Structure 1
Amino acid sequence: MYPLNAWYAAAWDTEVGRTLLPRTICGLPVVLYRTAEGAPVALADACWHRLVPLSLGRLDGDDVVCGYHGLVFGPTGRCQRMPAQETLNPSAAVASYPVVERHRFLWIWPGDPAKADPSLVPDLHWNDDPEWAGDGELIELDCDYRLVLDNLMDLTHEQFLHSDSLANDELSHAEPDVEHDEDSVTLTRWMHGIEAPPFLDMQLKRKAPRFEGLVDRWQIIRFTAPSTVVIDVGVAPTGTGAPDGDRSAGVNGHVLNTITPTAPGKCLYFWAFTRNYHLGDQGLTNLLRQSVSRVFGQDTTMLHAQQRAIVAHPDHEFYNLNIDVGGMWVRRIIDALVAAEQGRARTHPASLAEAAAHTRRTA
């Protein structure tokens, strides 16, 4: 249940170098490395000869040498040498996947390479924009990637799961505005004149140590198909103009999330937290990364438990609440993309009720 004609994050840029890194992308074993000049390469991680993972071999210049029988494959996937013979079988090759390095990630296109348009790489520019500072991590999750998307599209769970860091009672009562098209969903929620939750209050006091009072809080969640979510978050002192576009008195962050399915019930979760204030404060960068990592650790525990429960109750039918509206549209978009790739009609619900019914059937 994932589209193949799309860009998926395969690794942080710093993970890939002059060693062989195995990853699985949408069920496809891939081996990653860089050429001597630093260009990223992504090959199928299975030798043409006996399907042994090439990641168990070694690099020889820019070529990969199979660790079992010594076949040599170049960056394009073509076999360059075979042991004990000079004539190369013309079919001797492994797949070479389109790969783009952007926004501190390496992105792979597992589908039709002719459709791999680099302009379609999800926009996560905050991750390397000089006007923003931040850092993140990779989490390997034992759950369906769509459960992570559900989690990110419904932040009312912060009131309960993250009660020590991000909770406001107003989360469940602030009605969000929802917009969507065939490839994206945007959910906007404002909470006016409330107390800042601990994680955001800590940041606001770093910027304005003498601040006391109520704040306006915002969450603007944007999903881009197939599996990227950017969350614009922050608080500003009430009455300073944040709802009208002037956030200068407050603190603003972007939570960057892109999820890569690896196998049924498993995925890679790449995330970063970036901010646009105190850019040179590395201590603050470390503190925020550690704080968000702890929050996502709570999510990990819950998502793993949810996945185990789903496996244990395969016939259970899910029902949606009003808070599930963002996730309902996300799943509908993903299903439509998969249907289009499989030659079925790409359709979208005529109403939210139809989307809800469809989500119950496919949860």
Structure 2
Amino acid sequence: MTSVPEQHSFPLNAWYVAAWDHEVNRNMLARTIGGKRLVLYRTQDDKPVALEDACWHRLAPLSLGRLEGDTVTCPYHGLKFNSAGRCVHMPSQDTINPAATVRTYPLVQKHRFVWIWLGDPALADSSSIPDLHWNQHPGWTADGETLHLACNYRLVVDNLMDLTHETFIHTTSIGNRAVAETPFETTHDEAGVTVTRWMLDIEPPPFLKRQYGREGNVDRWQIIRFTPPSTIVIDVGVAQAGSGAPNGDRSKGFTGYVINTITPETEGSCHYFWTYARDFAPGDQRWTTELRTGLRRVFQEDQLVLEAQEREMKARPEKRFYELNIDSGSMWARKAIDRLLAAETRIAPQAAAGTTATGSRPADHTAAVSAP
């Protein structure tokens, strides 16, 4: 079983998005994931490959080299490595040192993303990749982008598990007072954490009203589902007030899925992949562009706060997080991450209890875990 250094806040035996499927091509893509410098490319038969981005010989970055057929040529001395990471050519000699290899990582292409497994390859079961089928289902139209955030990935998880902040950060788009004032329910199981909030007979905020396309109050929902270690799908939408949406009839409105999956780059940075899938105006590029642009602004507002939060955490290492009822979703999400970390380090899960902003010290809990 893979041993994870104590300073890591992210499990290694887990699937993370390495890139969009279109990013991995016949050009070599350098990317840092989980503190590991990697180079990604495709073979001639379209198979995605991930190698450590350092030549066995003198550690020159392979991403600066050339892709010739299915072999990567080191830019420094010309050693060649195949897609299995084995050296197949050394300059000025016929005998190839059998130890001349670079590490490879399992990759799977699914739901428009290329997923990577950083830990024990024997445990890389592709069936455990989170279900993000809306990204390419014929009944849905989805598009999104990637943000690079200078903060620990768990701060993004915290942000998405508690949408109360919409009232205060996203006042001109998706936020209104109903988000902060409406009770919610948090549930959890072995598969993840769910936070459900129904806001009944309210005025829709601007971003949702534009999609709703009519006047009058609505019933609004936010159903957040976290799959550890870092994927969150948020079922959102509005329907005509009193038309039965809480009972399953959403026909008098629209539904969207905000798909978020966060990949640690380092302890203080992450890649944030997001898409928005809608059930109306299929294939309409005008809507796709408008919604993508609108959500980009929303997430950039989050980025300002999260990066400022990370800076303050580093400047005040003696400070701890305090918990409110609204933090129940993020608290259970962090406990799920802790269980994965504990399993990898063979530490009893209870010994990993009490995470903080950096994961290096226990938190002060001043409220019950369950939410109203």
Q: TM-score, normalised to structure 1's length? A: 0.94
AA aligned to 1:44 is: E
Distance (whole Å) between structure 1 residues aligned to residue 32 and residue 322 of structure 2:
32
Distance (whole Å) between structure 2 residues aligned to residue 348 and residue 51 of structure 1:
38
Map 1:194-273 onto structure 2 (within 5 A): 194-205=202-213, 211-273=214-276
2:325 is matched with which residue: 313, 322, 326? 322
Report the alpha carbon displacement of residue 280 of structure 1 after superposing the two structures with TM.
Answer: 2.3
**Structure 2 match to 1:120:** 128
AA aligned to 1:52 is: A
- 2:293 matched to 1:290? yes
**Structure 1 match to 2:198:** 190
**Structure 2 match to 1:277:** 280
Write the deviation string for residues 126-171 of structure 1: whole angstroms up to 9, x where unpaired: 1111110020001111000000000000101000000001122121
AA aligned to 2:314 is: V
Report the alpha carbon displacement of residue 96 of structure 1 after superposing the two structures with TM.
Answer: 1.0
- 2:146 matched to 1:145? no
- Listed as ranges, the gaps of 5+ residues in structure 2 are 1-8, 365-372
3-state SS of 1:172 partner: helix
AA aligned to 1:167 is: G
AA aligned to 2:246 is: P
- Listed as ranges, the gaps of 5+ residues in structure 1 are 206-210
Report the alpha carbon displacement of residue 362 of structure 1 after superposing the two structures with TM.
Answer: 4.9
**Structure 2 match to 1:208:** none
Residues 357 and 38 (structure 1), Cα distance of their counterparts in 2 relative to 1, 3 Å cut? closer
Distance (whole Å) between structure 1 residues aligned to residue 226 and residue 243 of structure 2:
29
**Structure 2 match to 1:170:** 178
Distance (whole Å) between structure 2 residues aligned to residue 2 and residue 361 of structure 1:
17
**Structure 2 match to 1:76:** 84
1:64 is matched with which residue: 72, 79, 96? 72
AA aligned to 1:142 is: A
- 2:32 matched to 1:24? yes
**Structure 1 match to 2:17:** 9
The answer to whether the 8 A contact 2:170-2:298 is kept is yes
Distance (whole Å) between structure 2 residues aligned to residue 25 and residue 129 of structure 1:
28
The answer to whether the 8 A contact 1:142-1:267 is kept is yes
Q: CA RMSD in A?
A: 1.7
Identical amino acids, percent of aligned pairs: 57
Distance (whole Å) between structure 2 residues aligned to residue 227 and residue 318 of structure 1:
20
The structure 1 segments of at least 4 consecutive aligned residues displaced by more than 3 Å after TM superposition are: 354-360
Write the deviation string for residues 265-290 of structure 1: whole angstroms up to 9, x where unpaired: 11000000110111121100110000
The answer to whether the 8 A contact 2:334-2:355 is kept is no
Report the alpha carbon displacement of residue 249 of structure 1 after superposing the two structures with TM.
Answer: 1.1
Report the alpha carbon displacement of residue 348 of structure 1 after superposing the two structures with TM.
Answer: 9.3
Distance (whole Å) between structure 2 residues aligned to residue 134 and residue 78 of structure 1:
39
Write the deviation string for residues 298-340 of structure 1: whole angstroms up to 9, x where unpaired: 0111111111111100010111111111000111111121111
